[in-house]
Amino acid sequence: RKPAGAPDKSLARPVTKVGIVGAGLMASQLALLFVRRLEVPVIMTDLDQERVDKGVAHVHAEIDKLAAKGRLDQDRVNRYKALISGDTTKAGMADVELVIEAVFEEMSVKQQVWAEVEAVVSPECVLASNTSSLSITQMASRLEHPERVVGLHFFNPVAVMPLLEVITGERTDEATLATAFAVGRQLKKTTVLCADSPSFIVNRLLGRFMSDMARIVDAGTPIDVADQGFAGIAPMPPFVLMGLVGPAIALHNNESLAAAFPDRFYVSPALRRVVEAGKRGYYTQVEGRTVLDPEVLALQ
Ligand code: 3HC
């Protein structure tokens, strides 16, 4: 289905409590954003207590950093911290109006998460995926109420990047889209409506850029990491950007795009080895300088 434009604002449902599935880095950034902008309780869940505690601690630490910069007074610090909670079950999500998931980029994992969430929440609760490339239609296909599933794709760093992609699945209804747009406005993001197509808008463009960068390096040309401006094409050097996104996400994005458009996307064998070796990217810090990681070069 082609997006037909912004939905009717009057159909938006209020969001007074938010559930987040996953307590990793993206999930923690989302929790902070929702607490700051919506000022509503946010419950984070993950598979074990250690991950939950780490996620909640990360949000608390980010709140403290904002306070140290003079951006939050003590009253807000206390209030925001009190709004964040964590759990290993989804029981606390029974009364939320919006759940956003930021778990591993694997269709079966996402489908499993939504099945578990659907068993707990009300039929109107909006289920939003922060997937960067997977199909919203397929993700919703096994649910009793697929019409309340939508994509809300945020960019890293979540606090700073202005864009929010709202992805409509084939069965996503107007009230769900209206709620997604209303939430985007409350979060002070620029919301754009996207059809459910591989990697949506930004990651499809970025994927091409990243896959060609990897192709150049694979062909033996090192890319100058010191070129911060990179001819104005990117706000940071491309492989530093890949480190920010995470090489596993970048690889996954390129694999999905190469599967959909084999003639246009390149999957770098070196990038695959970087991910398998658990590296954070192509570059590393040596004596305060960013340099091509010799261990990654050895992997090529
Ligand atoms: N968290 C929170 N705030 C951050 C931050 C972070 N990780 N990194 C930077 N900031 C804030 C700083 O506090 C600063 O805020 P202030 O001006 O209010 O003090 C502001 O961002 C600018 O930071 P700096 O001056 O330190 O540095 P830069 O001007 O170089 O900006 C940047 C840093 C915003 C990260 C910029 O380099 C940038 O835009 N990089 C590109 C990021 C990008 O393209 N992201 C999209 C990746 S794709 C994606 O996420 C999709 C996924 O599905 C793969």
245 Cβ closer than 6 Å to some ligand 1 atom: yes
Report phi then psi at 124, rounded to 5: -90, -15
Q: Give the pLDDT confidence score for residue 159 in this predicted structure.
A: 96
How far away, in angstroms, is 16 Cα from ligand 1 center? Answer: 28
Mutate to test the pocket of ligand 1, among 69, 158, 160 (most ligand atoms within 8 A of CB): 160
How far away, in angstroms, is 267 Cα from ligand 1 center? Answer: 26
The whole-angstrom separation of Cα 17 and Cα 246 is: 29
Residue 115 carries which side chain, given as an amino acid letter?
A: A
* Protein residue with least CA distance to atom 11, ligand 1: 160
Domains and CATH numbers, the chain: 9-195 (3.40.50.720), 202-299 (1.10.1040.10)
Q: Which residues carry out catalysis?
A: 153
61 Cβ closer than 6 Å to some ligand 1 atom: no
* Protein residue with least CA distance to atom 14, ligand 1: 160
Q: Give the pLDDT confidence score for residue 237 in this predicted structure.
A: 78
Q: Give the pLDDT confidence score for residue 125 in this predicted structure.
A: 98
135 Cβ closer than 6 Å to some ligand 1 atom: no
How open is the CA angle 271-210-31, to the nearest 5 degrees?
90
How far away, in angstroms, is 155 Cα from ligand 1 center? Answer: 10
Q: Give the pLDDT confidence score for residue 243 in this predicted structure.
A: 85
Its ipTM equals 0.95
How far away, in angstroms, is 157 Cα from ligand 1 center? Answer: 5
Query: For residue 205, how many C-alpha atoms fall within 13 Å in the half-sphere facing its CB?
Result: 4
Tens place of pLDDT per residue across the chain (300 aa): 556 667 889 999 999 999 999 999 999 999 999 999 999 999 999 999 999 999 999 999 999 999 999 999 999 999 999 999 999 999 999 999 999 999 999 999 999 999 999 999 999 999 999 999 999 999 999 999 999 999 999 999 999 999 999 999 999 999 999 999 999 999 999 999 999 999 999 999 999 988 888 888 888 877 765 555 566 777 787 788 888 889 999 999 999 999 999 999 999 988 998 999 998 888 777 888 777 777 777 766
Q: Which tokens belong to 231? A: 């001819």
How far away, in angstroms, is 233 Cα from ligand 1 center? Answer: 16
Closest approach atom of ligand 1 to CA 130: 53
Over residues 175-219, the pLDDT tens digits come to 999 999 999 999 999 999 999 999 999 999 999 988 888 888 888
161 Cβ closer than 6 Å to some ligand 1 atom: yes
The whole-angstrom separation of Cα 73 and Cα 246 is: 33
Over residues 39-70, the pLDDT tens digits come to 999 999 999 999 999 999 999 999 999 999 99
DSSP label of 29: H
Q: Which tokens belong to 266? A: 């390149």
155 Cβ closer than 6 Å to some ligand 1 atom: yes
229 Cβ closer than 6 Å to some ligand 1 atom: no
